[in-house]
Amino acid sequence: MSFIDFIRKMYNFNPDAKYFGLHAITTPVLLLRDPELIRSVLVQNFATFPDRFGFDLNEPLLANNLFSLRGQKWRDVRDLLSFSFTSSKMKMMFTLMSECAVDFANFLSTSISAEKSDMDMKDAFAKYAIDIIATCAFGIKIDSMKNPTNKFFVYGKEVTNFIRTHPIKIIVLKIFPKLGRILNLKLIDSHASDFFRNIIKTTIATRDAEHITRPDMIQLMMDIRGKEDRRELDIDDMTAQAFAFFFGGFETTSTTIAFVAHEIAVNPDVQTRLRQEIDKVLEESNEEVTYETINRLEYLDAVIKETLRFYAPSILERVCDEAYELPPALPGEKPFIMKKGMICWIPVFAIHHDAKYYDDPEKFRPERFLDNKMYHNSACYMPFGLGPRMCIGNRFGILGIKILLFHLLARCELKPCAKTTLPLRFSKKSLLMTAENGFWLNIQRRSDMRSVLASASINSIFSENKC
């Protein structure tokens, strides 16, 4: 079975237990089931569970990015990068993302034909994800739909695909980290890591020489240079943090959009309501697609939130940093002392599909998130984690998804096709959540598409804010 289904099976092993133990090959793991206990671990007692297990690597790109860092260095970099994701920074990056989304939607809506209207949407959405990461994190404008062989896209897929291409290396590095270091095992080829490092180095040198300023992540890291009480980042640090966008955003963003598109296609009532909402907002805003416009789409927001519930990550992982007493797993049992170094898993997907917390959890129902604040900051809804170590880029990811779906649904209609798998099944070949036979859909250009969207003048709405 898939890893997702396996974890769910373990979660349902004893519905009355707050937690229980299992082994991940040779590593003992505690699987936590109780929301109060989960909140205690992720939030109230974060100092005791501050880190992920991660990898012990000789690779700066992976070892030095925010996902892998630990202790004080993680805190320093997290504090620095948090400024990248404020509302003001999101408004600045909105323009960059929108240009990518318009390019993507225009290309798709004008290039499809009756013979070529069925496609695996995951590959298409991967190109969009690469484009927004390239422009917002690395300061490079690319169009991977028109130029799918560009080095950024090719190397981007390569460096984020190591979970699929190097499963044996991953097992060795997770279970026998010292052996991995002795053998100098690497997950990313040097030519790919050198490519991204050279991009950062060249971009910084060019901006310094020509006094160029751009609303992206590199600029933020450059701007702290010379400021008091701020730790400067060297080229390797900057490259690692920019790469964190790839590591944390490329696969998750493209896969989430693919799952949203699948649910929109197989639920015509959802698609109809979304199109009506988008068309109404376009009319009311005189076709000016702004940051505020996108954030007024309440039903689109609910559809994305429901997708993140329905297709949540399999687990969150934390390492115990000091002895910690768990309450009894079952009534009448004794407390359990977690020792330093022990690992706990939080089964997010299984919790999101537990009828104890969600009515009719196996039904895709976006309405559950309309005017409902009960899931906010809840241990029963954790698509981006919870507590100080929750995903720092969650607002960036959601904004990128909203912008693309807005422009895509304004121009195109999504339908199931002969290759669409119903019901959708999870792949047994990957630890990551993905569809077993791909995300095949039929794409049709909307016959009622608004004329302004059909014209090239759409780009003029961004002209005042081009960089």
Amino acid, single-letter form, for residue 24: A
Residue with tokens 């359990």: 336
Q: Under DSSP, is residue 225 helix (H, G, I), strand (E, B) or coil? A: coil
CA 291, 78, 52, 160 torsion-angle sign? positive
Q: Of all helices (H) and strands (E), which one includes residue 57?
A: none
Q: Which of 447, 446, 385 is nearest to 66 (CA)?
A: 385
245 Cα distance to chain centroid? 9
Q: Which residues contact 353 (CB under 8 A, 6 or more apart)?
A: 8, 310, 361, 362
Going through 229-374 in order, the beta strands assigned E by DSSP cover 316-319, 324-326, 336-338, 343-346
Q: How far apart are CA 310 and CA 362, in angstroms?
A: 8
SS3 assignment for 375-407 = CCCCCCCCECECCCCCCCCHHHHHHHHHHHHHH
Cβ–Cβ contacts within 10 Å for residue 251, how many? 21
- Which pair of structure tokens corresponds to residue 2? 């898939």
> Nearest 5°: phi and psi at 364?
-75, 105
Q: How far apart are CA 302 and CA 220, in angstroms?
A: 31
Task: Judge contact between 401 and 329, C-beta under 8 A.
Answer: no
Give 247-263 as a DSSP string: IIIIHHHHHHHHHHHHH
Binding site annotation covers 412? no
- Which pair of structure tokens corresponds to residue 336? 């359990």
User: Can you list the alpha helix ranges (DSSP code H) found in 55-86?
Assistant: 60-63, 71-81
Q: Which of 168, 162, 153, 170 is nearest to 189 (CA)?
A: 162
Task: Judge contact between 408 and 110, C-beta under 8 A.
Answer: no
Task: Judge contact between 36 and 44, C-beta under 8 A.
Answer: no
- Which pair of structure tokens corresponds to residue 138? 């690395």
Q: How far apart are CA 465 and CA 467, in angstroms?
A: 6
Annotated binding-site ranges for heme: 391
Annotated binding-site ranges: 391
